[in-house]
Structure 1
Amino acid sequence: MTAAIKDTVRAFITDSFLMGGEQAGFADGDSFLEHHIVDSTGFLELIMFLEETYGIEVTEDEMVPDNLDCLSAIEAYVQRKKAA
């Protein structure tokens, strides 16, 4: 299941924000903000995608880089939300 979360989110980000560009090969730990992969508006789209795809609710206080700024963080966050 772990790889599935990363793969699903990577595909969404690549399709939605990178259009298959040269940044498409970003690593699991690469910061979306530092590498200019996702901007502030993009994070809102990403949050909606996570909520719809995984049936979770991302609360305002959870919208922090520790939860959402790289694939590894998103994977851990989604797993915690689904386990709760």
Structure 2
Amino acid sequence: MFDNPRPTIRTFIIENFLFGDGSSMPDDTGSLIENEILDSTGVLELVVFVEETFGFTMVDDEIVPANLDSVAKIAGFVMSKTLRISA
């Protein structure tokens, strides 16, 4: 289980969507969609990463900005899912 998934998520986003250049990466609460880091294809790539990295499957109604629009939201979602799985 990940105690703090934020660094892993942040690194993935920088490497895969910003090509290793973290200078335009917003802080952990900044919108990845409004800052044009994620588009619809990027969301699908992010979902695959989350599922493979953190070991759970996301259902369609979980693939929403409330869960995926910032590093903080993604980390919170991951933590809530992994806590439910381990309980």
Q: TM-score normalized by structure 2?
A: 0.88
Give 1:11's aligned residue: 11
SS at match of 1:28: coil
Structure with the bigger percentage of helix: 1
Quote the residue 1:23 is aligned against: 24
Gaps of 5+ in 2: none
RMSD after superposition: 0.9
- Separation (CA, whole Å) in 2 of partners of 1:39 and 1:83: 28
Aligned to 2:55: 55
Gaps of 5+ in 1: none
How far off its partner does 1:56 sit?
A: 1.0
Alignment-mate amino acid for residue 49 of structure 2:
F
Shift of 1:79: 0.7
Q: How many residues end up aligned between the 2 structures?
A: 81
Q: Deviations over 1:36-81 (max 9, x none)?
A: 1111100100000000000011100001111110011111100111
Could you list the per-position Cα deviations for residues 4-51 of structure 1 after superposition, in whole angstroms to 9, with x for gaps in the alignment? x11001100000000133313x20001110001111100100000000
